[in-house]
Each structure stands twice: as C-alpha cells, then as structure tokens.
C-alpha cells in the first residue's frame, strides 16, 4: 500500500480568522481606536476563551483513531469529527493481520484501555483475532462506529494556509473523490501493518 501524501503545515501563526467569527466581527467597537487595524490584526468584541466550532478529521479506525474519537467525544467541547477507514470494519492492524501466530508483543493485560478492562484474555499474549474482538466490542459499546465512514480511502491531505484548514481528499467505495475540510487532522492510518 502506498503511503498517504500529507503535506505538513508551517508553524502556527495567529491569523485574524482565529480571533473571532464573522458574526462577532460585525459588531464594531464603540471606541474608534479599537476599530483600527494593528498590523493586520483587529481587536474583536468577544469574551476571552470563547469557543468556536472546530472539525477534526481522523484517518483510520484502528486503536489510535478510535481512542482519539472516544476522548474527543467525551473531553472536547465544540469539536465535531469524522473517521475515514479504508477497510470494511474497525480494528486496523488487528483486523488485517491474521497470519499464524500473530499475537500481541506485550502481555495482554497491558494491551487494553485503563477505562475498558478485559479480565478474560485467553492467554498471556493474546492473538490478533481476540485483540480485534476487544476493540470491536469496545467500539460498538461506546457507539464509535457511527462516526466511521468505512471503505473510504484518504488519498491526500494538504494544509490550506489561507483558510487555516486541512483539505483531505477521500475516495468513496464507488471511486468518486471528494474533499473534506477540518482544522485538526489526526493521522492514524497505521504503521504496524
């Protein structure tokens, strides 16, 4: 499989679009001094720490991609996300690798989420199918699969400096390609295959 082409963005710089939404900018400050431009920056009328909506794109529905989705859903405010998975099911490495003797390289009890324990591992080093079943059961129980578009392959991701978003080209199962955009890109397409 060819690696996904990901163009890394330059270091973050505060741009005016990070400071306020268009609706908030429409209310000019009553004092003319604050309505001027300060080397391209404008003072906006919004409370400190006002959250704006963000979109996250997650590449891959293996252990890493699913954990990011799990944590994002529970710990982040005003962040929506979409997971793109090239396979027809979750699991990543543990879905794809089923060769004879394929097992975890650390003790099974260490290869689990601290928030989703499995006291019933069948052996000290669990096999790939058993680890996949653990991930699958967890994803189903937590409702993570509703965020996954299966058989959708990410072709390319590039940073659009002007819009301050990632533009991600995705190929559908029918071969059609579309572009999704998000401020956050979680590259979890797998290195352990």
For residue 22, being part of any structural domain is answered with no
DSSP 143: T
Count of structural domains within the chain? 1
For residue 114, being part of any structural domain is answered with no
* Closest of 85, 53, 112 to residue 173, by C-alpha: 85
Longest CA pairwise span in the chain (Å): 73
For residue 37, being part of any structural domain is answered with no
The whole domain housing 158 covers 51-97+140-187
For residue 115, being part of any structural domain is answered with no
pLDDT tens digits, one per residue of 97-111:
989 999 999 999 888
What pLDDT score does 177 carry?
A: 98
Q: What is the CATH number of the domain that holds 56?
A: 3.50.50.60
For residue 61, being part of any structural domain is answered with yes
For residue 192, being part of any structural domain is answered with no
Residue 13: count of CB within 10 angstroms of its CB: 8
DSSP 87: S
pLDDT tens digits, one per residue of 171-185:
999 999 999 999 999
At residue 32, φ and ψ (nearest 5 deg) are -55, -35
Q: Which parts of the chain sit beneath pLDDT 50? A: 12-25
For residue 31, being part of any structural domain is answered with no
pTM of the model: 0.77
* Residues forming beta bridges with residue 186, ordered by sequence position: 58
Encoded tokens for 24 = 């908030």
What pLDDT score does 83 carry?
A: 98
For residue 79, being part of any structural domain is answered with yes
DSSP 10: P
Encoded tokens for 189 = 């397409």
């Amino acid at each position: 499989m060819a690696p996904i082409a990901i163009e890394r963005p330059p270091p973050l710089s505060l741009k005016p679009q990070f400071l306020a939404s268009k609706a908030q900018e429409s209310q000019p400050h009553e004092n003319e001094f604050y309505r001027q431009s300060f080397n391209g920056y404008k003072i906006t009328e919004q409370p400190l720490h006002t959250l704006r909506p963000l979109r996250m794109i997650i590449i891959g529905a293996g252990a890493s991609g699913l954990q990011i989705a799990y944590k994002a859903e529970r710990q982040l405010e005003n962040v929506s996300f979409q997971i793109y998975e090239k396979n027809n099911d979750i699991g990543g490495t543990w879905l794809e690798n089923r060769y004879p003797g394929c097992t975890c390289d650390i003790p099974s009890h260490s290869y689990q989420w601290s928030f989703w324990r499995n006291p019933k591992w069948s052996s000290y080093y669990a096999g790939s199918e058993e680890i996949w079943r653990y991930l699958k059961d967890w994803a189903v129980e937590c409702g993570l699969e509703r965020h996954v578009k299966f058989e959708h392959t990410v072709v390319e991701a590039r940073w659009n400096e002007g819009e301050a978003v990632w533009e991600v080209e995705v190929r559908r199962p029918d071969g059609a390609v579309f572009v999704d955009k998000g401020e956050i890109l979680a590259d979890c397409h797998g290195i352990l295959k």
